[in-house]
Amino acid sequence: MARIDPKELEKLIEQSLNDFYKSRLERLDDLKLKNVLQRKNPYLFKALYTEKAHELIEKILYAYISSSDETIFGDKFFEPIAKIVSGGVVSPSEGVDVAVETKDRYIAYAVKSGPNPFNSSAKKRQNDEFSKLRNRLLKLRKQFDPVLAYSYGTKISMPNETKIYREIAGQAFWEELTGNEDFYLKLIRLMGDIPKKHMEKYRPQFDAVTNRFTGEFVKDFCHQNGQIDWEKLVKFVSEKP
């Protein structure tokens, strides 16, 4: 596996965080209130006794953005770092992010942020993608080692009758890539104050979107007395076309 200079690692982490926040800001700028509302559960917010329009919008935005942050962070932070510190290349196959080739092995990593969002149907799809790549690489006559890798967590499992790949997570994953058992800690240490600087720019834009959405929500989904019109909101989200 590749060795990376500490200064280069610092620059890589900073650039990856820059890319992550750039994507967050772009996603925030592209949001439309009604698109966000259609993906959230109005019954849940009513059950939680959310009766202030501003509070409802803030909760919806937090829930919507946090669900996308995991994916963006995996794409913009974990994946590029994994590729560079491994010395590997982008895999020529869909569903595989990094390929590391040794004298006798071809290791194909599908790098995910964490294990929680990866459900059974996604795992079956991943198994199929690994199988297709294995068939394409038969001519190499090397051991094919497919890995579903989680950038945090503790999960470790070997191939079995239902999957051809092994799973590895957290410290074990980063140690395998770098040969350094403390590399997973370096990732958090070297972030330093960079997130704080980005949040100083991100927070005002988030607040501006919250205020704008609140105004739109009050206009479209509140009674004249200011109370939330829950039935109108549920109709918007769920009424058949």
What pLDDT sits at residue 3? 64
Task: Please tell me the least confidently modeled range out of 7-11, 119-123, 148-152, 195-199.
Answer: 119-123
Distances (CA, A) of 59 to 31, 51, 63, 152: 15, 12, 6, 26
What is the reported pLDDT for 117? 58
Which pLDDT belongs to residue 168?
A: 96
Tokens encoding 209: 């979107």
1-87+193-241 CATH = 1.10.3250.10
Pairing of strands 89-90, 98-101: antiparallel
For the chain, what are the domain ranges? Answer: 1-87+193-241, 88-192
Alpha carbons 32 and 186: distance in angstroms, whole number: 38
Tell me the per-residue pLDDT of 17-65, one tens digit each, with 9 for 90 and over. 999 999 999 999 999 999 999 989 999 999 999 999 999 999 999 988 8
Helix (H, G, I), strand (E, B) or coil at 182: coil
Residue among 155, 65, 76, 172 nearest 118 (CA)? 155
Question: Could you report the per-residue pLDDT of 99-130, keeping only the tens digit for each?
Answer: 998 899 999 999 998 887 567 788 889 999 99
**In the numeric block, which tokens belong to residue 18?**
């820059």
Tokens of 174: 């980063």
- The gap between the terminal CA atoms of the chain, to the nearest Å, is 55
Query: pTM, whole model, 2 decimals?
Result: 0.85
Helix crossing, 194-221 with 53-73: angle to 10°?
140
Instruction: Tell me the pairing of strands 105-112 and 89-90.
Output: unpaired
Domain 88-192 top-level CATH class: alpha beta
Instruction: Compute the distance between CA of residue 174 and CA of residue 190 in angstroms, rounded to an integer.
Output: 15
Can you say how many angstroms the Cα of residue 145 is from the centroid of all Cα atoms in its chain?
Answer: 24
178 and 149 in contact (C-beta within 8 Å)?
no
